[in-house]
Structure 1
Amino acid sequence: MPPKELLALRHELEALAIDFWHEVDRHDGRDAARFYVEDAVFETSIREYRGRNAIHGFYNRRQQRGPRLSLHVVQNFRIDVLAADRVHCEYIMSLYAADGEPVLPSRPAIMIAIADEVVRQQPDGSWLYESRRLKPLFRDDTPTTG
């Protein structure tokens, strides 16, 4: 793939990741499952969810816990084209989160992880997640919603 096309694809997929985490942070993931293919795999730092319905259930349970403030920060985004319609994405995801309403006390990230994803291009040209795995590198004792 020519360098300019590769850069444009990386930018498009980084924007997809940012839009996904924005949905989680601003809307508690109410619509997060729409970012995944039907048979997707989502692996948190605690357990794995298979299928769009299971992923939707995870975010429903997250909402039922009550108010939670989170910020998922995406950094060092990289891609590797696997096929014309599949791309591997990897980046550092820093999670700042706590239960409650803003303004909360400022603390360091509760988790810094490698996000390992595969996206699949759909017939309409859009991209959906085939898999997302979060591999923690650093964690504190603050509970996540995994």
Structure 2
Amino acid sequence: MGSVVGSVASMPADGVRLTHHLTAVLTAIWFEIDHGDGSGVSAHFTPDATLTVLAHTVCGRPQIDELYASRAARGPRVSRHLVTNVHLSAATDTMAETVSSLCLFAEDGDAPRPITTPAMVADVVDRFEHRAGRWFISSRHIRAVFMASGTVLGVATQ
């Protein structure tokens, strides 16, 4: 594939297909969190992956599983992770990097919740590795761009 960087207008068709495929991986993760308990999230990461949420980093699938198990243990929570503006910033045959925008609506409790402003708007930087015919995230960093003071996220952030 070579290197794929730039605007969609100048991106080769394989770069557009890769962006579409990686976007499907990203949305599958957020769907698992929003419509499940997050227990399937780690399957999208390499065994030694790092996941950083603001200032809190976990390493490896077992710690990623623990992170989402602790979220589920807190009790009912309604969330919608809306991902957009997925930008393929680098790619080869074996690695890729995306930067996407995340708009998170979330509150503790059962649905339906009262209408609310986003809990957070963040940049999500994902580094992917191609292994065994699949793309896995080897590194994810969620960086808040907008977040109200006092916002409580469903996972540890420090």
Asked if Structure 1 and Structure 2 have the same fold, meaning a TM-score greater than 0.5 normalized by the shorter chain, the answer is yes
Q: Which residue of 2 aligns with 1:80?
A: 89
1:64-143 paired onto structure 2 within 5 Å: 64-123=73-132, 125-140=133-148, 141-143=150-152
Gaps of at least 5 residues in structure 2 are 2-10
Match of 1:58 among 48, 55, 67: 67
Q: What amino acid sits opposite 1:43 in the alignment?
A: T
Q: Which residue of 2 aligns with 1:27?
A: 36
Count of equivalent residues = 145
Structure 2 CA distance, aligned partners of 1:84 and 1:39? Answer: 20
Q: Which residue of 2 aligns with 1:45?
A: 54
Structure 1 CA distance, aligned partners of 2:89 and 2:54? Answer: 23
Gaps of at least 5 residues in structure 1 are none
Bigger mean CA offset, 45-54 vs 107-116:
45-54
- 1:67 Cα offset (Å): 0.3
- 1:3 Cα offset (Å): 1.1
Contact 1:98 1:142 in 2 (8 A): no
Structure 2 CA distance, aligned partners of 1:115 and 1:27? Answer: 21
TM-score of the superposed pair, with normalisation by structure 1: 0.95
Contact 1:116 1:134 in 2 (8 A): yes
CA RMSD of aligned residues (A): 1.2
Structure 1 CA distance, aligned partners of 2:39 and 2:98? Answer: 23
Bigger mean CA offset, 1-10 vs 50-59:
1-10
- 1:30 Cα offset (Å): 1.4
Q: What amino acid sits opposite 2:43 in the alignment?
A: R
Per the alignment, in what secondary structure is the counterpart of residue 42 of structure 2? helix
- Give 4+ residue runs of structure 1 displaced > 2 Å after superposition: 80-83
Structure 2 CA distance, aligned partners of 1:52 and 1:58? Answer: 10
